Amino acid sequence: MEIKKILVANRSEIAVRILRAAREMDIRTVAVYSEVDRFLPHVRMADEAYCLGDPDPSKSYLNINKIISIAKKCKADAIHPGYGFLSENFRFAKEVISQGLVFIGPEPENIRLMGDKLISKEMATKAGVPVIPGTNKSIKNLEEVFKKAEELGYPVLIKASAGGGGKGMRICYQKNELKDNIALAKSEAKNAFGSGEVFLEKYIEQPRHIEVQVLADYHGNVLHLYERDCSIQRRHQKLVEESPSPAVDDNLREKLTKSAIAITSACAYRGAGTVEFMVDRDSNYYFLEMNTRLQVEHPVTELITGIDLVKEQIGIAMGNKISRKQEDIRQKGHVIELRVYAEDPYNDFLPANGILEVYKTPKGPGIRVDDGYEEKLEVPVFYDALIAKLLAYGENRETALRILDRAIDEYQVGPIPTTLSFGKKLCNDALFRKGIYTTGYIDQKFKSKLKVKLDAGEARIVAALACMQYFNNQSIAENEDFQMGEDKNKQKSLWKQKRQ
């Protein structure tokens, strides 16, 4: 079927990314936004924009009924969920389809099956793919857990069955840590994903986190788009990604990509997805999970292969074949991506929300910046603190590193701290430059060095700027009569006033 209008059920940089792809495909677009996001670029970029109301995610970007109601009201044909929020909620996908709309993503059953880590591990095993040793059911009996942990050998990992992003995960190095960590993991998983189900796995120390991008259409075509190395993480969440991986040779790459295709085929998957693996010190690899959505780091694959993943998603949703064949896809050059978060690397990477009083992006050959903010806008406390993704592309890894280093120097963001300062240190670290790193890299090498504090004078300046901008924003908000999507010209006029 032909898609003529897409509602983007997301915000900030990923909403901008999808809107641009749709515009290039001559597809009309609809943005949604919470009250706190009213001035973000994605709102004015879309052909229509509708307010979801309260910034609380449960009342805005997670409000299934409101989003679908807006889609029907504006006569959209399809909904693209982006990543995060409702992107891996099979009930949302099912409801979108039941209302006669196209869900730009995998089938609801794909999301349901692969979103449960225990079910997905079972499917991987049946597909002949190695999995991490552990329990094959959720934890119910503490004594059974004690016994299984002894069999696996410490350390072990307690892990949420649903969701991802490092939530609902706890490492246990000895028996007396199990009980409390199980309770904590269950509580966190329940709050984050609505399910408190957790299971036990052998904890693989110092692994590489390698993932393979896949595409599958409704004509039986299943392709891989090579690997991304996502091992630089804090709190089990990715911070730097690159491709090709410095740790993957041609032999391992063939095994990983074949396994990714096997799992994708086994679950009759459709759309874009990512199969994630852990690789140990001896290059043994294990299936970790499958993300049934577009990944944050998808631009890495786009630069390395020349394939627009968002356009492929939309094309597949319309029933088209994937635009390339496997033999036509090649890795070319090297790409490194740094996620630019409003976080303080000098304070355990804690979120540091506030006003972007200064915001200027780098330019020049080999640089791509995917962002969703502009100068004078606020990074709010309600959502993920991602400001942008900074990508450097070169003919080889050394060139890409030099471009990234230069781009970080040119990137101007203030006064709130960001992960750019961490990226600068990483670019000039001898081990990282050699490609020698694991998922424990930040904890082991950088945290102790990064823990310094602003002096009293700097702290007062930052606090004063933030307070001034906050009260300025409050004053503006109180005097605005913001309409839903019906009056786009008024909305643009208000945005101009804000910028002035």
Q: Active-site positions?
A: 293
**DSSP assignment of 64-105, as one string?**
HHHHHHHHHHTT-SEEE--SSTTTT-HHHHHHHHHTT-EESS
Cβ neighbours of residue 358 closer than 8 Å, sequence gap 6 or more: 375, 412, 413, 414, 415
Q: Which of 210, 146, 135, 219 is nearest to 176 (CA)?
A: 146
C-alpha to C-alpha distance for 255 and 278, rounded to whole angstroms: 13
Give residue 401's identity as a one-letter amino acid code: L
Cβ neighbours of residue 415 closer than 8 Å, sequence gap 6 or more: 354, 357, 358, 461, 462, 465, 466
CB neighbourhood size of 223 (10 A): 22
Cite the beta strand spans of 331-429 per DSSP E. 334-341, 343-344, 350-351, 354-360, 367-371, 378-379, 386-394, 412-415
C-alpha to C-alpha distance for 215 and 468, rounded to whole angstroms: 48
8 Å CB contact between 33 and 11: yes
C-alpha to C-alpha distance for 305 and 45, rounded to whole angstroms: 27
C-alpha to C-alpha distance for 214 and 309, rounded to whole angstroms: 10
Helix 298-305 and helix 309-317: axis angle, to 10°? 100
